[in-house]
Amino acid sequence: MYQDETLICEDCGKEFTFSAGEQEFYAEKGLTNKPKRCPDCRKARRQKNRRKMYDAVCSKCGAKTQVPFKPIPGREVLCKACFDAQKSQVV
- Separation of CA 39 from chain center: 15
pTM: 0.55
The SS3 of residue 21 is helix
Q: Residue 19: its pLDDT value, please?
A: 96
Q: What is the pLDDT of residues 26-70, one digit of tens each?
A: 999 999 999 999 999 999 998 887 888 999 999 999 999 999 999
Burial of 18: CB neighbours in 10 Å, binned 0-12, 13-18, 19+: middle
**47: which residues sit within 8 A by CB, 6+ positions away?**
none
Mean pLDDT of 6-11: 97
> In the beta sheet, which residues pair with residue 57?
64
